[in-house]
Structure 1
Amino acid sequence: MSIASSAFLATIPSPDRGVWEIGPFSLRAYALCIIVGIVVAIWLGERRWQARGGTKGTIIDIAVWAAPMGLIGGRLYHVITDNQLYFGEGRDPVRALYIWEGGLGIWGAIALGAVGAWIACRRRGIPLPAVADAVAPGIVIAQAVGRLGNYFNQELYGGPTDLPWGLEIYRRVSPDNPAVEDPLGGVAINDVPVEVVHPTFLYELLWNLGVALLIIWLDRRLRLGHGRVFALYVAGYTAGRFWIEIMRTDPANEILGQRVNVWVSVLVFLGAVVYFVLARAKGPREEPETLRSPDDPDYPDSGDGGAAGSPSGTAESDTAESGTAASGDGDAGTGDAEAGGPATRPGSASSDVDTGDDGAATENTASTENTASAESAPAAGDPGAGGPPEKPGSST
């Protein structure tokens, strides 16, 4: 065992490369991690959405809009805040499009991804805050998976450290020309580290997983709704990003001596906390009926005898299920002669008209005889005499 390897035995080795050439194709670890993260976020979000009563397949459909817009937003934020890497003397602006080389700003990804999700929710007729609550844990887990891509790229690390979990950084060169440095697409020339640093990408990965577990637990315990789970995710993530960002040593633009992302973390954290507090006034979690798309086979439909088209079960559902004075299940208007007298709907006006056996219309007056016969008749909606009346709004 060499002296160098024994000296760094307790540290974390970096991969010798982040790109593998397979014929004419380049397999990039960073891109694979992003794809895996998106798949995990969709899978978990779909499960949580269905558990809350939402329509199956909704999160997948929303991801068709949100995922690509999120990638575009993430790249735009990175290019804008680190424009010196792509524009200026000696720079190649075309490389701003090379998303597979790394460089996605989570702030832009969430912002533009939310726009895509809003469009999809509008098309499906479902509330965006409820969708955000369902996908929040999956998003932060996807961020954790994405940080593995930074590990393969040997990027986003902190300053030097002698801690046991320090990360070894290797010198990488171009496979075609060993004289050319290539930290992203190159191959390590040996396993002797040029420095040992804080693995800030790993700190953020572990923090993100902790945030995911926390918000899942709180959601189950408190039954949060109206975007409050998403607000907790944002607050939890930015709290960790604040101190992790301060530890990073990669080049970044600064404002008042602090990295841009430090300030963004503070502002977004405060906004998330304010929203979490104010959204409490919206009341309990959304009812499952409000999460179903109109094209859902189980979507409430007054024509099927279930809940009415109004998801919350309003007067329409009462009319459809409990019967009306004109045409209930027990034919209150025309078939009450079997019970021996005209039936009147409770609370109806004294001018209601019923039809008896002989076909003649008799006016319902306030006389004792008609009152007695009305009391002896079955209630509207009863399937026969003597049966208990249905509770308004109950399903059949």
Structure 2
Amino acid sequence: MSLFPDTKTFMTIGPLHIAWYAVIILSAAFLTYYLCLRKFRKMGYEDEIFENFFLMMLPTAIIGARIWYVIFEWRQYVDNPIRVFYIWEGGLAIHGGIIAAVLLGWYYFRKRCINGLRIMDVVFPYLLIAQAIGRWGNFMNQEAYGGAVSAQFMSHFPAFIKDQMFIMGEYHHPTFLYESIGNIVGFILIYFVYRKYGRRKRGDLTFAYLAWYGLVRFFVEGFRTDSLMMGNIRVAQLVSILGIIIGLLGIAGVWDKLFQNFYPFKKQKPAVIFDLDGTLLDTEALIFASFRHVFSKYKPGYELSLKELKSFLGPTLKASFEKYFDPSMSEELIQAYREYNVAHHDELVKPFPGAKETLQYLKEQEYPIAIASNKIKETVVRGITHCGLAEYIDVIIGCDQICDPKPSPQCILEACKELYCSHDDVIYVGDSITDIQAAKNMAAYSVAVLFDEENADNLLAEKPCRTIHHLKELIDIVKEDHEWSDATI
């Protein structure tokens, strides 16, 4: 019994023949799309951005792959040029598809102020999976095979591969399998090893892909019998050598230096976005007093412990009150809280040491500065105005301006929009678990302020990118030369 009774036709519906090759290639493409989309969401981008790119990229890549093939096999089409469009006859070259997709991506993401290197670092490792799967389409078509080999050599392979590689009376090297395995190994090494232990900057995963795939394809191409040729030179081997060189020089940082003033290598100053309470302003005394006032009025005799009071730092008022009261009372409780809070605000609120000096430095160095808080905007404005910090802040986002409070990253993303800057380069500074979670939910560079030693362990458990014990330490951090996003996602 044959594993594949018809290795070329997957399904026939009337006059329509659906090829295994098409099914496998499209399956690989959509799997890669799904994996990339998951990562894209973690970076805080809306699905629509990547969906639209994919819908344009897929036909663009196919056209690019076809053009590349036709250029080097023009003699097949010179007598009947219309056959150039007969794509169902076969003839696609992966290098042309990749080049076309990269050119489209360069235009598409640059227009949307999205860092192209960051996007490529998401896509290219997963592309190895797509290529590994796609090579099985060549297997089904009995193409992209190597030179003749003995039956004894093929006896080391499963029977279904041996049978399919028996072509024109001879067994042939299953080069599709060599490249497929090489791509899977490359994905494992790049995604699970290099990404964790070797990555230093944006573009490194892309350059690692170019170097690895170039190496694999160079050696595999040497076995193949159907190579595109330019004189006596195998085109794929030439392109592979270029890929290896580009990849290694990229990892070494050469392109960063040569193209430092051009997209996507040009460095952008990160937007520095702060939480308010417990980060810029010391409002703990006011918050504790306001909660005690509400509890004394609506839950007389109940004494809030210090642990309970500290649990109110970070979450919204609604979330805090609903732990102790019926949700129907939330609005009344919040109103009572805010009345007391406003009445005693100026006597109990003060800036943390170094807040003004840090903001002043950031402003002088032209860093975009914002506050993204779970407090309403009016209260934020009052606090920074009272403490003399308002002149340094470009944008304020309060919980009344968004739908989802922290740990959703919506307030940070909204701040980036109002700052007119990409959220690929964002430092978010906060003192609570929800602050660090919000930053991580959009892969921003998170900085935890450890003013409260009792809460330090909880914050460290969230694995912020950095920690500080004084706001002035932030000045040294922004001077560092590295990427302003969380590379651990």
CA distance in 2, matches of 1:56, 1:224: 27
Post-superposition offset of 1:68:
2.0
Distance, in Å, in 2 between the alignment partners of 1:258 and 1:150 is 23
Task: Tell whether the 8 Å contact from 1:68 to 1:113 is kept in structure 2 after alignment.
Answer: no
Query: Does 2:119 correspond to 1:65?
Result: no
2:221 aligned with 1:245: yes
Q: What letter is aligned with 1:22?
A: I
1:212 aligns with 2:184: no
Moved more, 266-275 or 93-102: 93-102
SS in 1 for 2:222: helix
Tell me which of 81, 84, 90 is aligned to 1:102.
90
**Residue 251 of structure 1: how far off its partner (Å):** 5.7
Which residue identity is paired with 2:149? T
Q: Is the contact made by 1:204 and 1:241 (CA closer than 8 Å) also made in structure 2?
A: yes
2:44 pairs with 51, 54, 57, which one?
Answer: 54
Q: Which residue of 2 aligns with 1:168?
A: 163
Mark the runs of 5 or more structure 1 residues left unpaired by the alignment. 6-11, 171-190, 293-298, 333-342, 346-387
Aligned to 2:112: 124
- Counterparts of 1:60 and 1:300, CA distance in 2: 29
- Partners of 1:262 and 1:344 in 2: how far apart? 64
Distance 2:147 2:237 in 1: 17
Task: Kindly report which structure 2 residues correspond to 1:195-344, keeping only aligned pairs within 5 A, or say none.
Answer: 195-217=170-192, 218-250=194-226, 252-255=228-231, 257-278=232-253, 314=367, 316-317=369-370, 328-329=382-383, 331-332=385-386
Q: Note the 1:135-154 alignment, pairs <5 A.
A: 135-154=123-142
Instruction: Give the helix-richer structure, 1 or 2.
Output: 2
* Alpha-carbon distance change, 223 to 46 in structure 1, aligned in 2, over 3 angstroms: farther
Change (3 A) 1:117 1:281: closer
Indicate how the Cα distance of structure 1 residues 85 and 131 shifts in structure 2: closer, same or farther if over 3 A, else same.
same
User: Could you tell me which amino acid in structure 1 is paired with residue 93 of structure 2?
Assistant: G
Q: Residue 314 of structure 1: SS of its match in structure 2?
A: coil
Change (3 A) 1:122 1:15: farther
**Which amino acid counterpart does residue 216 of structure 1 have in structure 2?**
Y
Alpha-carbon separation, structure 1, partners of 2:76 and 2:41:
43
**Alignment of 1:133 onto 2:125:** no
Q: Paired residues, what number?
A: 289
Q: TM-score, normalised by structure 1?
A: 0.62
- 1:274 CA drift (Å): 1.0
Q: Measure the CA separation in 2 of the matches of 1:72 and 1:47.
A: 27
- Structure 2 Cα separation of the partners of residues 260 and 200 of structure 1: 17
Unaligned runs of 5+ in 2: 281-358, 390-451, 453-469, 475-489
Task: Encode CA deviations 1:113-142: one digit per residue, 9 max, x unaligned.
Answer: 012112221232211100000111221111
Retained in 2: the 8 A contact 1:34–1:149?
yes
Whether the 8 Å contact between 2:218 and 2:240 is mirrored in structure 1 is: yes
Bigger-Rg structure (1/2)? 1
Secondary structure of the residue aligned to 1:27 is: strand
Give the Å deviation of 1:207.
0.8
Distance 1:43 1:273, change over 3 A: same
Distance 1:35 1:192, change over 3 A: closer
What is the rounded CA distance, in whole Å, between the counterparts of 1:55 and 1:83 in structure 2?
42
TM-score by length of 2: 0.51
Q: CA RMSD in A?
A: 4.3
Q: Is the 8 A contact 1:46 1:56 kept in 2?
A: no
